[in-house]
Amino acid sequence: MASDNDQPKKSGHHVTPAILAFSAILAAAPTLGLADAIDKHGGSLTENERIVLASLSTEEVQALASIDTQLDSVVAPSANNNNNNNNKKPA
């Protein structure tokens, strides 16, 4: 079983580990093969999600990987929540 350290880090987003799992599977599929990639990285996915992913063709995996990469740049994580270095608080 893979340790957490094997999971590719996208943003450290703990809320939806499925994002990390999806990305990891899409990235690993070309080298591991889709079934092994799901086995290795799909632990946090529901059974239905695993079934859906297992049904994808190679071209579909590549298309989704391309979309996933683009989403990394268009859905940037919030990076600076700091409000203590002389910036005003919300209250």
Partner 1 sequence: MAFRANEQPNLPFLLVNPPLTDPTCPYHSISYLLAAAEAGGFQGGCALDANVEALNYLVEAEQVAKLLARARRCVEQVEQKHTLTRMDEARYLYALKSLAVTPDMPRDAVDTFRSETKFYDYPRYRRAVSVINNWIDLLSLDGFVGQFDGLAFDYSHVVNFSSLTDLSNPTLIGTLAAPFDPYLDTEFRARLHDRPWRLIGLSVNYVSQLPLAIRMAQIIRTELPGVRLCLGGTEVSDVVKQLDRPRDIWKLFPMADYLVVGEGEAALVTLLEHVDAAPAAVHGTGIMTRSALASGRPQVAYEDLASAGTPRYEAWDWPRYWSPEPVILYSPTRGCYWNRCTFCDYGLNTDSPTSPSRERPIPSVVTDLQRVQAIGATIYFAVDAMSPRYLRRLAAAIAPLKLSWAAELRLEKTFVSGLTQELAASGCVAISFGYESAAPRILELIDKGTDTEIIGHILGALRQANIGAQMMGFVGFPSETPAEAMMTYDFLIEHQDSWALAGIGDFVLTTQSIVAKQPSRFGIEKLVASRGDDIVRSLSWVESAGSVRRSAGDARDEALNRAAREISRGRETRPFVGGIDSSHSLLYFKRYGARLWPHSDLESPADPDPRARDVRYRTPFASLGSFCNGDAIHRYVGEQRERGESPGAEDVLAFLSTETTPARHGSEIEILPNGSYLVLTPEILAVEAHPSAAYLAAKQMLLRYQGL
35 binds partner 1 per the rule CB under 8 A: no
Q: Does 42 sit near partner 1 (CB under 8 A)?
A: no
Other Cβ atoms less than 10 A from the Cβ of 56: the count is 17
Give buried/exposed letters for 36-50 (b at 16+ CB in 10 A, else e). ebbbbbbeebeeebb
Nearer to partner 1, 31 or 86 (CB): 86
Of 32 and 71, CB closest to partner 1: 71
Q: Per CB under 8 A, does 59 bind partner 1?
A: yes
Please check whether residue 49 is in contact with residue 57, taking contact to mean a CB–CB distance below 8 angstroms. Answer: no
Q: Are 59 and 65 in contact (CB under 8 A)?
A: no
- One residue of 13, 30, 33, 35 binding partner 1 per CB under 8 A: 13
Residues forming the site for partner 1 (CB under 8 A): 9-16, 18-19, 22, 49, 52-53, 55-57, 59-60, 62-64, 66-68, 70-71, 74-91
